[in-house]
Amino acid sequence: MEQAWQLTNPVIGIVIVFATFVLFYAVSYFSNRASKSVEDLYIAGAAVGPITNGLAMASTYMSLATFLGVTALILRIQVPFVLLWIQMILAIPLITIIYGTSLRRMGAFSPTHFVRERYGVSASLIAALFMILVSIMYALGQMIGIAVTFETLLGIPYSTGLIVGGFLIVGFVTLGGMSGATNNAAIQMVIIALMFIIPLGAIMKAMGGSGWYFPPLFYADMVPAMLEAMPNFFDYQYSPKWYFAIIPALTIGALGLPHLAMRIYTASNLKSARQAMIWCVLVLGLIFSATYAMGFAGVYYAQISGVEISPADADKLTIILNLVYNPEWVTALVIAGAISAGLSTLNGNLLAIGALISQDIVTTLRPKLINKSKVRLGYMSIAMGGLLSILLAFNPPEFLTVSILWAFGLSGVTNAPLIIMGVWWKEANKYGAMAASVIGGVVYVIVSPFVLPNIVVSGHALTDGMGLSGAMLAVPLSFILLIVVSYITNRIPALQKNLPTDEDHKLVERIHGWSDVNPARYNSTFGAFVMTSLSIAVFVWALLPWVF
């Protein structure tokens, strides 16, 4: 038995979604009245407090996938996807500890800004182009998701939803800059939490669960019934290699995502950035756990009700549960929450695209632009990024609509090694950085199933499609190339004149907080050797046959 899942009275949904847009516009307008410099535009004048920033970090990170995609994948592969998603919480803490505070000290606008200062213009242009690709894939995913949500749940045709919704979104992102985005993201976080967890509690109660008052964790009494209906729900299914591959693909991948790192640069000081990280983890843990509970409830419902949820409808699992168990006006609030989740991520993506185009490409090529032109260019770049996403979403090229998780891997291959080694190893140089970014990036694209379907690493469609196997091969390759090529080229006398070694060393010391330069610091050959050895081991393991 298959059925169409839609609000019978879409007007309620449209009114609630419209009301949230009015709120976001008002916040954008009042937040950004004083954006006079590029610092104001991209990092909100580096003056955001820890609670607002922590909420904004969590909200920017949680995309439409949190509401729709994760529950769909739990329906499809059950507990392994829960275990895959849990580590997503590491992104902000690891970014903060490994390089975020250093780049905040430097006053960077984006991770690529650091790459430019550290490795020079050519390396930063390569990194920026890859990052724009990652950000567009991300933004496009949100834009399509929002338009599809409008279409399937509110009955608004896809093109109309895309044009009206898309322009409304681009309008408030451009109007608000980072200050508006931050305040909006913090508000969106509260909306997401309320619109996800309270209706989940009602669903749990209707299903007979006794722990409805705290649904993220209190559903153990439903476990025996689940095991009866689906005995293999809790099975791990995959080998340790599959679980290990999540580290290079998604954990290291998240370290290179520009829209996450940029949140740390908005902090008013380093202590505030570290406090924001704590708030972010607390809130992310709450929502993520609620997502697993929603996935559990969805699988449970599908098993006991006999209702067949078609693969095309799997993304709507959260909404389906609300349509079944809650009144329509609650479902309308959940839809508004899902759209808010998409908006906050899109907001971060568009700002990252704006910073990448205007600061990392145009200003790099034309460094003499005056401040006013830079700000104007910034607004134009954000709007252009948004318009491009809308245009692409009309008839999206297939290679751009691959899983967003695959884009994590691309950022892990092309950006993360440059930033991590650039911050912690003075010997890292532009030749190593370019080799790592270009060769690593090309290898990752080649072994993806989207370009040459015959050349893949694992042969398992889901694993290759999410970039797990590709990243397990290409991320260590990038680290190896960066370290080995840098080490060798630093010892070729003919190349010395092209390497601003002294300035690089000063920069590395400065971003760690030192006022002097000490050759013994951040220069460990042993550390680089250990990193290379580990990378070779992972690289070889990725090449060995995959058993599922």
Partner 1 sequence: MSAYKKEVWFTIIMSVILLLAGHVGFIFSIFPVEGNLFGFPIMYIVPILVGWFGIFILTIIAGKIGNHIDDAIDAENEENIKEQNAEMKGVR
Q: Are 146 and 161 in contact (CB under 8 A)?
A: yes
**x/- map, 45-84, partner 1, by CB under 8 A:** ----------------------------------xx-xxx
Look at the alpha carbons of 380, 381, 386, 389 in this order and tell me if their dihedral is positive or negative. Answer: positive
Query: In the set 518, 533, 537, 547, which binds partner 1 (CB under 8 A)?
Result: 518
537 binds partner 1 (CB under 8 A): no
107 binds partner 1 (CB under 8 A): no
- Helix/strand/coil (H, E, C) string of 416-462? HHHHHHHHHCCCCCHHHHHHHHHHHHHHHHHCCCCCCCCCCCCCCHH
Specify the residue, 167 or 514, whose C-beta has the smaller distance to partner 1: 514
513 binds partner 1 (CB under 8 A): yes
Look at the alpha carbons of 417, 420, 423, 425 in this order and tell me if their dihedral is positive or negative. Answer: negative
d(CA 294, CA 70): 9
d(CA 238, CA 250): 17
d(CA 120, CA 360): 11
Tokens of residue 225, six digits? 């019934």
Specify the residue, 130 or 288, whose C-beta has the smaller distance to partner 1: 288
Residues 152-211 that bind partner 1 (CB under 8 A): none
Closest approach, Cβ 397 to partner 1, in A, equals 33
Specify the residue, 282 or 442, whose C-beta has the smaller distance to partner 1: 282
Window contacting partner 1 (CB under 8 A); options: 94-102, 121-129, 326-334, 403-411 = 94-102
Q: Is 304 exposed, middle or buried (0-12, 13-18, 19+ CB in 10 A)?
A: middle
d(CA 270, CA 531): 28
521 binds partner 1 (CB under 8 A): yes
Query: In the set 514, 529, 533, 540, which binds partner 1 (CB under 8 A)?
Result: 514
Q: Any idea what DSSP says for residue 360?
A: I
282 binds partner 1 (CB under 8 A): yes
Amino acid at 167: F
Query: In the set 29, 34, 159, 271, which binds partner 1 (CB under 8 A)?
Result: 271
Closest approach, Cβ 309 to partner 1, in A, equals 22
- Residue 24: CB atoms within 10 Å: 28
Residues 241-270 that bind partner 1 (CB under 8 A): 242-244, 246-247, 251, 270
Q: Is 543 exposed, middle or buried (0-12, 13-18, 19+ CB in 10 A)?
A: exposed
**x/- map, 211-240, partner 1, by CB under 8 A:** ------x--xx-x----------x-x-xxx
Q: Are 199 and 209 in contact (CB under 8 A)?
A: no
Window contacting partner 1 (CB under 8 A); options: 126-134, 362-370, 477-485, 506-514 = 506-514
Q: Is 134 exposed, middle or buried (0-12, 13-18, 19+ CB in 10 A)?
A: buried
Q: What is the Rg, in whole angstroms, of the alpha carbon atoms belonging to the chain?
A: 23
510 binds partner 1 (CB under 8 A): no
d(CA 284, CA 55): 9
458 binds partner 1 (CB under 8 A): no
User: Going by C-beta distance under 8 Å and a sequence separation of 6 or more, which residues neighbour residue 469?
Assistant: 245, 447, 456, 457, 458, 460, 463, 542, 546
Count of residues binding partner 1 (CB under 8 A)?
Answer: 51
Query: In the set 14, 86, 129, 369, which binds partner 1 (CB under 8 A)?
Result: 86
Window contacting partner 1 (CB under 8 A); options: 123-131, 276-284, 324-332, 533-541 = 276-284
Task: Give residues in contact with partner 1 (CB under 8 A).
Answer: 79-80, 82-84, 86-87, 89-90, 93-94, 96-98, 101, 217, 220-221, 223, 234, 236, 238-240, 242-244, 246-247, 251, 270-271, 274-275, 277-278, 281-282, 285-286, 288-289, 292, 424, 512-516, 518, 521
